[in-house]
Every structure is written in structure tokens, then in C-alpha cells.
Amino acid sequence: MKILISSCLLGEDVRYDGANSSIVYNPSLSFSQKELFMDILCENEIYSFCPEVSGGLSIPRVPSEIISSKKPFIVKDKEDKDVTINFLLGAKNALDLCKKEGIKVALLKSKSPSCGNKNIYDGTFSGKIIEGQGLTAKLLIENGIETFNENELEELLTFINKK
């Protein structure tokens, strides 16, 4: 199965701070979770993608949060610069790749203003988490693409095995 995966989860240094969120090297994940992730990687066709970089943002970059999750969307960085267009462009690029390649499932970085599929930061840069979706996750879901985050590997495997 073709799977879109957030580049940072694959160990690529694309996060806002220039680091990554590698599942394989994450000390808070168990060995069995890491092994499950490796099985998913080895048994499927993987498409690495970072919407924020695709949308034109640099590495590193000032952290951003969603200020308004309803249209018109507003995403600002911690210095109050509006970066909404970068996030929208990255989301569209992710969707375009999924459509072009026939990708029906994505494994995305939790809590990200682009990739969070269940929860995101609240827009105050205080570290508070709220229910919501990043702009890429939201667009993918609206277009019928199943989304999972790094804490939902078993659910992802169940989805893969049903196809």
C-alpha cells in the first residue's frame, strides 16, 4: 500500500527547530512500536513529505501555530508573521501528491499545525493542546484520505491489513 509519511517521522531534519521526530529513535516509544513501524516501512510503498518545507518555509524556522482553524484560516509564527499561505500551499501539495500517486492513507506528526490529525497547539504558544487538525491533515481527511499519527501505529496496521 502507498503511504504518505511526515518526513520528520522518518528521521529527516525538517522540523521547525532543524531536528526530526524519528519514530525509530524516539525514547518514549517501546521497541515493539518501533518494530511495528519498521514492518510498516518494509512492507509498503512510502512517500516522505513535509508540507511546511513544501510550502516554502525554511529549516530551521520560527515555530508556528494555528490562530484560526475555521475559514479564513490564520497561521502565525511566534514572531507574529502570517505564514498561512505556506501552510495552505503545503497542504495542497500533499493532497496533489496523494491524488497523483493514488495514496489513500497518511501517517502524520501529531500536534503539528500542518499534520496533527487529532490534536494541535491552541495558537497561544503556551504549549496547551486542544482538539483539532493541522491544515494538511484537515485537507487530506476532507478528501477521503485516512490519517494516523505516530501514536496510532496499531490502528494504521489494522487499516492496511483491511485493504
DSSP string, 23-39: STT-TTS-HHHHHHHHH
Cα R_g (the chain), whole angstroms: 15
The per-residue pLDDT for 147 is 98
Count H helices, E strands: the chain? 5, 8
Read off φ and ψ for residue 117, nearest 5 degrees. -100, -15
The per-residue pLDDT for 163 is 77
The per-residue pLDDT for 106 is 98
DSSP 107: E
**How many structural domains are present in the chain?**
1
For the chain, 163 residues long, give each residue's pLDDT as a single digit of tens. 999 999 999 999 999 999 999 999 999 999 999 999 999 999 999 999 999 999 999 999 999 999 999 999 999 999 999 999 999 999 999 999 999 999 999 999 999 999 999 999 999 999 999 999 999 999 999 999 999 999 999 999 999 999 7
Domain that holds residue 154: 2-162
C-alpha 112/C-alpha 64 separation (Å) is 9
The per-residue pLDDT for 3 is 98
Angle between helices 135-142 and 84-101 (to 10 degrees): 40
82-98 burial: b if 16+ Cβ within 10 Å, else e: ebbebbbbbbbbbbebb
C-alpha 70/C-alpha 42 separation (Å) is 38
C-alpha 108/C-alpha 152 separation (Å) is 10
C-alpha 120/C-alpha 106 separation (Å) is 17
